[in-house]
Structure 1
Amino acid sequence: MIYRPENADMHVARGRAPRLLDELRRVLRVKHYSLRTEQIYVDWTRRFILANGRRHPRDMGAAEVEAFLSHLAVQGNVAASTQNQALSALLFLYREVLGIELPWLDGVTRAKRPTRVPTVLSRDEVTRLLARMDGRPWLLASLPYGSGLRLMEALRLRVKDVDFSRNEITARDGKGGKDRRTMLPRTLADPLRREVERAHHLHEADLRAGFGAVWLPHALARKYPAATREFGWQYVFPSAHRSRDPRDGQERRHHFDDGMLARALKKACREAGIVKPVSAHTLRHSFATHLLESGSDIRTVQELPGHRDVKTTQIYTHVLNRGGQDATSPLDR
């Protein structure tokens, strides 16, 4: 059977039974997967179909999945995380959408997972980097370093989750669907208050224009229909413009675009003379490392960034090893 994935989105509009990619999207949304995960899983499914001559996945099985994943590792030379992402997408497709349980995939050539220590900036490098940023990009770069928030946790921060009286931030629905509390640095309290005020002005303008609803996760909009327009549920970092949600077509104000922050970080690195590759996650690594350097307990450092396993936090003890700086090189002797 030949399947044409590029035509998948046309059939719902024509009143036909949903095609594979439409059904994949529907199941992902029913199970409350994020929009990014939905886009990634749909893309891997499309690539798998095209790599097998447009055959329908129902007409294929473990042998084709193993061959596809092995090709990614051998010919594609992808990272282990990329191969695992493709595997997760295909397992979801077969198990949740097609109702087919694949056998254990023993024949996959696994991509090698290298052992690396995270890139960490020194305190001086962080100071130089942030000094060359301003406005909202500066604040969004300061949160991963000051509070240990992941980038998307900062971008999706809701007004109600910033507690100025307790100097505390609640990160909702983080990695693994978990909530946690972390510190709100005093340095960021006033800039965050200004962002909340700005968000309030935008929200009031949206309400006057007949909008003002924000996207709520996990069917909360149906359970609490009035909450979508309450200010407490609005994003702290709203986008400058409203846009249509691709999931339901409603016009809403989304959060700030992470691409703008990436560009601002790249520009600041260049101006600061920092040659290390820097992202928001690099600042999060630096947060954990500098806490350990200052003597914080490893369990505390595990909880603040939201590490599931203390072994993840222990990676930063390797960074503290400093490459043998406490020893004297034989050449210097």
Structure 2
Amino acid sequence: MECIRLRVKDIDFANNLLIIRAGKGEKDRTTILPDKIKESLREHLRRMKKLHDQDLAKGYGITTLPDALAKKYTNANKEWAWQLVFPSKSLVVRSVSGMVLRHHVQPSTLQRMVKEAIRKSEISKPSSCHTLRHSFATHLLEAGYNIRTIQELMGHKNVNTTMIYTHVARKSYSDISSPLDKL
């Protein structure tokens, strides 16, 4: 669900990175941006930039910011870099200020979209957003990545949380040679 709060400035296409702000445990972390989605993400951002420009032309085009940032950078809420990558289709009016803005999509919207993608891909096992998160960690582990690296990518405070994935990862010893064979 962290992706619904993703902002344009948190995507680093050049280094294949995503910065997750206030993610699990309310901590920021960096994770990887898959090459396979870069072009479709760029296209999505082009469409969202067009929507943002249209909103600005109508006198809207602002987004919510954390309080400290909103006070420090008073016009940042209109800047493209601070806009949400997945904004709601609907505009909302803030009752106190009267400001018109777009929030992020609702978690239920994301869940519905993921369910539809799962159905279209004909995955037969029960799956969800959280299943994808678990699969990400499990596949990294199966590919031989260091448990500490996976811990950082997942945003786990304690490595024991990450160690849970060692129980579900398929173990293969065929590509491991014994130190005795190197003598």
- Structure 1 alignment gaps of length 5 or more: 1-150, 323-333
Partner residue of 2:6 out of 134, 139, 157: 157
Distance 2:138 2:153 in 1: 12
Q: Does structure 1 residue 168 correspond to structure 2 residue 21?
A: no
Q: Please name the residue that 2:141 is paired with.
A: 292
Structure whose alpha-carbon radius of gyration is higher? 1
TM-score (norm 2): 0.84
Q: Please name the residue that 2:177 is paired with.
A: none
In the TM superposition, what is the alpha-carbon distance from 1:244 to its structure 2 partner? Answer: 2.9
SS of residue in 1 equivalent to 2:15: coil
What CA deviation, in whole Å up to 9, does each residue of 1:60-102 have, x standing for no partner?
Answer: xxxxxxxxxxxxxxxxxxxxxxxxxxxxxxxxxxxxxxxxxxx
Partner residue of 2:106 out of 247, 257, 262: 257
Q: How does 1:1-333 map to 2 (within 5 A)?
A: 151=1, 153-245=2-94, 250-270=99-119, 272=122, 274-276=124-126, 278-320=127-169
Q: How many corresponding residue pairs?
A: 170
Q: Which amino acid aligns with 1:283?
A: L
Specify which structure has the bigger relative contact order, considering alpha-carbon pairs within 8 angstroms and separated by 6 or more residues: 2
SS of residue in 2 equivalent to 1:219: helix
SS of residue in 1 equivalent to 2:92: strand
SS of residue in 2 equivalent to 1:181: strand
Change (3 A) 1:247 1:256: farther
Alpha-carbon RMSD across the aligned residues, in angstroms, is 2.0
What CA deviation, in whole Å up to 9, does each residue of 1:219-243 have, x standing for no partner?
Answer: 3112110111111000111122211
Q: Which runs of 4+ in 1 moved over 6 A?
A: none
Distance 1:159 1:273 in 2: 30
SS of residue in 2 equivalent to 1:170: strand
Percent identity of the aligned residues?
49
What CA deviation, in whole Å up to 9, does each residue of 1:301-332 have, x standing for no partner?
Answer: 1001111110000000111268xxxxxxxxxx
Distance 1:307 1:179 in 2: 11
Change (3 A) 1:246 1:172: farther
TM-score (norm 1): 0.48
Q: Please name the residue that 2:174 is paired with.
A: none
Contact 1:157 1:235 in 2 (8 A): yes
Distance 2:123 2:22 in 1: 36
SS of residue in 2 equivalent to 1:237: coil
Q: Please name the residue that 1:100 is paired with.
A: none
